[in-house]
Amino acid sequence: MKNLVILGGGYGGTTLLHELLDHKIPADTQLILVDRMPFQGLKTEYYALAAGTSSDMELRVKFPVHPKLSMRYGEVTGINMDDKSISFAEGEPLEYDQLVIALGCVDNFHGVPGADTFTSTIQTFEATRETYRRVNNLPPQATVNIVGGGLSGIEIAAEIRESREDLHVRILDRGERLLSASPPRLSKYVQDWFKEHNVEIRNKINISRVEEDCVYNGPDERIPADITVWTAGIRPVPLVDELNVNQDNSGRVILDDLYRIPGRPEIFVCGDCASLPFAASAQAAEAQAEQIANVIVAGWKGEQPKVQPLKLKGTLGALGKHAGFGSGFGFGGKSSVTGRVPRLLKSGVLWMSRHHFG
Ligand SMILES: Cc1cc2nc3c(=O)[nH]c(=O)nc-3n(C[C@H](O)[C@H](O)[C@H](O)COP(=O)(O)OP(=O)(O)OC[C@H]3O[C@@H](n4cnc5c(N)ncnc54)[C@H](O)[C@@H]3O)c2cc1C
C-alpha cells in the first residue's frame, strides 16, 4: 500500500483532503492525515477565543471520515526526507510515498529579547487558550499591550475591547498607520473606530525588548502592561526551518511549478510553509491546496499535471461582532468597504469554512 501523508489538518491540509476524497482513490493508495489535534482549529478566529467572545467548541471542525483515510494524532518532531519517514514525540515513525507539508506557522519574534518568554500568542489553539485565560483573569482596569497593527492585532484588540470594557487596550505598531498595506481610507476607518472605542494606538514604535510587565520602545521608553500579546509577524514552523531546502526571506519553502520541493517530486508544501506570491493566509492555503489536489489526482490518472494560477478574493477583517472592513473584492468599483456589511460577509465566510464550502 502507498502512503499519501498530509502533515497538518489546518486550512491547507483539510481543503486538500476534501478535494482528494471527491475523487476515486486508487486501490493501492491510502491517505493519512497527521495533526496534534483531533479536529481542525479555525485559526482565523483564534482572536475571538483569546478574547472570550467565541467558545473553544465553536472553533473546531470535525475531520472527514472515509474508508481510504486514516488519522495519526500526535506531535511531529521530524521530517526525514532521505528515508521518507516522519518522526513523532511518541510512537513509531510513519513512512510515506508522497508527502504534503501543511504545518502552518509560528510567531516571528524578530530576535527581540524577551518576546518569546513574556508575550502571549494566538498562533496555536493551545497557546490561544492560555492567552484567553490570562486576558480574562486580569483584574479590573488592567492594561493589555498588543504588539502589531496588522489584521490579527486589530482583530484581537477590537475583540478584547468588546469582551472587557474595563481594560486599557493599547496597540503598538511599527507603521505610520494601522494596516499599512491597505488603502489609507481603510486605515483611517479602523483608527477612528479604535478612538471611538477607547483603544490607544501608538504608531512608529520600535520594540527593543520585552519584560514581564512592559515593552521598551527604542532603548529607553518603558511602556507598561499587565499582558503583552504578540501579533507582529510569522514564520513557518521550526520543523520546516530545519529542512535542508531553499527558503525565501520569510523562511517559506521555495517550490517548483507544481508546488513540490525541487529534486523531491514526492513532497508538496502547502499554505503558510510555502513560498507563494502572497502574504500567508487561509485563502491562499485553500487555493493552493486545490491546485495540489489537481496535481496528485492527475498522477493517479496517469495524466500530465497542470496547475491554474492562484486567485485570491480579498481580505475581510472584524472590529468586534458588529463592524468590519474589507478590501480587494472590487465591491462595486470601490477598493475597500467598511461597516456592518463586510462584518456580515466575514461571518458568512466563517460559516462556509465550518461547512467546507467554497
Ligand atoms: C488571528 C488570526 C486571524 C487571521 N485571519 C485571517 C483571515 O481573515 N483571512 C485569511 O485568509 N487568513 C487569516 N489568518 C491566517 C490563516 O489563519 C493562516 O494563513 C492559515 O491558517 C494557514 O493555513 P495552513 O494550512 O498553512 O496552516 P494552519 O491552518 O495553521 O494548520 C496547520 C496545522 O498543522 C498542525 N501542526 C502544526 N505543527 C504540528 C506538529 N509539530 N505536529 C502535529 N501537528 C502540527 C496544527 O495543529 C494545525 O492543525 C489569520 C490568522 C490569525 C492568527
- Residue 198, C-alpha cell as written in the block: 477607547
How do residues 199-250 score in pLDDT, each as one tens digit? 999 999 999 999 999 999 999 999 999 999 999 999 999 999 999 999 999 9
Task: Please identify, among 174, 198, 232, the residue that sits at the C-terminal boundary of a domain.
Answer: 232
Query: Is 157 a pocket residue for ligand 1 (Cβ < 6 Å)?
Result: no
Which pLDDT value is given to residue 281?
94
283: containing domain: 2-36+74-106+234-301
Specify the CATH number for the domain of residue 167.
Answer: 3.50.50.60
Q: Among residues 172, 200, 232, which one ends one of the domains?
A: 232
Residues 241 and 276 in one domain: yes
pLDDT digits (tens, 9 = 90+) for 149-183: 999 999 999 999 999 999 999 999 999 999 988 88
Q: Is residue 343 part of a domain?
A: no
Question: How close is the Cα of 303 to the center of ligand 1, in Å?
Answer: 32
Would you say residue 358 has pLDDT above 80?
Answer: no
What are the grid coordinates assigned to 78, written together? 521530524
Residue 280 lies in a domain: yes
Q: Which of residues 217, 232, 247 is at a domain's end? A: 232
Task: Single out the residue of 44, 230, 42, 226 nearest to residue 135, CA to CA.
Answer: 226
Question: Helix (H, G, I), strand (E, B), or coil: what is residue 238?
Answer: helix
Looking at the structure of the chain, the number of domains it has is: 2
Distance separating alpha carbons of residues 201 and 146, to the nearest angstrom = 10
β-bridge partners, 323 = 319
Pocket test for ligand 1, best of 15, 32, 35, 43 (most atoms within 8 A of CB): 43
Whether 10 shows a pLDDT value over 70: the answer reads yes
Ordered alpha helix ranges (H), 65-215: 115-118, 125-136, 151-163, 184-196
Residue nearest to atom 22 of ligand 1 (CA): 282
How far does residue 221's CA lie from ligand 1's centre (Å)? Answer: 34
Residue 199 placed within a domain: yes
Looking at the fold, whether 211 and 115 belong to one and the same domain comes out as yes
Average pLDDT over every residue of 51-56:
97
What's the pLDDT at 333? 61
Is residue 65 assigned to a domain?
no
Kindly report the number of other CB atoms within 10 A of residue 317's CB atom.
23
Gap between the Cα atoms of 296 and 351, Å rounded: 28
Question: Is the CB–ligand 1 distance for residue 281 below 6 Å?
Answer: yes
Shared domain for 128 and 196, answered yes or no, is yes
- Paired residues of 78 in beta bridges: 87
